Amino acid sequence: MDFITNNWSSFISLMKTFSISDFFDIAITSFIIYSFIKLIRETRASQLVKGILILTIAYFLSYQLKFVMLSNLLNKFFEFAVITVLVVFQPELRRALEQIGRSKIGKHLGYYKNSFSDLQDTKSCINSVVDAVTILQKTKTGALIIFERETKLGDIIDTGTTINAIPSVSIIGNIFFNKAPLHDGAVIVRDDMIYAAGCVLPLTKNKSVSIDLGTRHRAALGISEISDAVAVVVSEETGIISIAINGVLTRNYTKEHLKNKLDDIFFKEVEEFDFRKQVIKSIRRIKKQ
């Protein structure tokens, strides 16, 4: 009973000194820890975290039991723990920073071209891709087309051949013709242009992906997991059209459905940019008054 009373008194004393800044401090820290656990939960890093926890327990026990050599060895290890974490968790840390950059806050810091001519180019690019993909679907010709967005894909582009051509049905058809030298790789669309072809993409690390999906679909998922790119895939076996966005693959697109989906993705970004610009103008106008 005394234990409960003492702890309750300590809790009341703590709550009296509790401020709103403490609440936000705890909330933000909890969110960061939760995000980190969520990030590594389904990766090999989760096993590394377990290993670090075991070493931490071993260090505590060796210190309590006065195992001098073991505690000194573990102490030296933890002195370089920060560098070790940076090296070991480099892929996870990079992915986390990329996700922050693709968040709404990151997008507010971005720049989006939205002149009338740019919108016309985007519309023309989408129409050409949709028409080409529809023909490839009918002939069951495998294809993988990646639309670059805010996350730049320079390292992916370097693995292919630079083309920098205006999108058209004939160019896309020639690239993915099964005898063409670049047909096995991916096409990268940058700034409404076919910028590169024959590009090599990273495969998804998601182990729950269906075994029925081939390399093209796994590559589409892979690039969508590490960037905000939109990947359009045509299956060589079935001719089914699929789209991968943010690590999620949706399938069985028709020509109309595909066009509507791409329009929603790219023209919605323009609408959001216009809205933000109008808000900024209004705030500046109010300040001047």
Q: 30-34, 225-229, 235-239, 266-270: lowest mean pLDDT where?
A: 266-270
CA distance 43 to 21: 34
Largest alpha-carbon pair distance within the chain? 84
Residue 176: partners with Cβ closer than 8 Å, 6 or more residues away: 136, 141, 142, 143, 183, 187, 234
Q: What is the pLDDT of residues 40-63, one digit of tens each?
A: 665 556 666 777 788 888 888 888
CA distance 215 to 259: 24
First to last CA, the chain: 66
User: Which amino acid would we find at residue 75?
Assistant: N
User: Which amino acid would we find at residue 288?
Assistant: K
- Residue 273 burial (CB count, 10 A): 17
CA distance 158 to 274: 33
CA distance 201 to 226: 11
Q: What is the pLDDT of residues 59-103, one digit of tens each?
A: 888 888 888 888 888 888 777 777 777 776 666 666 666 666 655
Q: How confident is the model at residue 178 (pLDDT cuts 50, 70, 90)?
A: confident
**Across-strand partners of 233?**
144, 242
DSSP, res 202: P
- Residue 159 burial (CB count, 10 A): 15
Higher pLDDT, 93 or 132: 132
CA distance 24 to 30: 10
Rounded to 5°, the CA angle 53-57-58 comes to: 115
What domains appear along the chain, each with residue ranges and CATH number?
Answer: 2-108 (no CATH), 116-275 (3.40.1700.10)
β-pairing, 161-165 vs 248-250, is: unpaired
Contacts 24+ apart (CB under 8 A), 121-125: 121/192, 122/192, 122/266, 122/267, 124/167, 124/192, 125/167, 125/189, 125/192, 125/193
Q: What is the pLDDT of residues 194-245, one digit of tens each?
A: 999 999 999 988 888 888 888 999 999 999 988 889 999 999 999 999 999 9
pTM of the model: 0.63
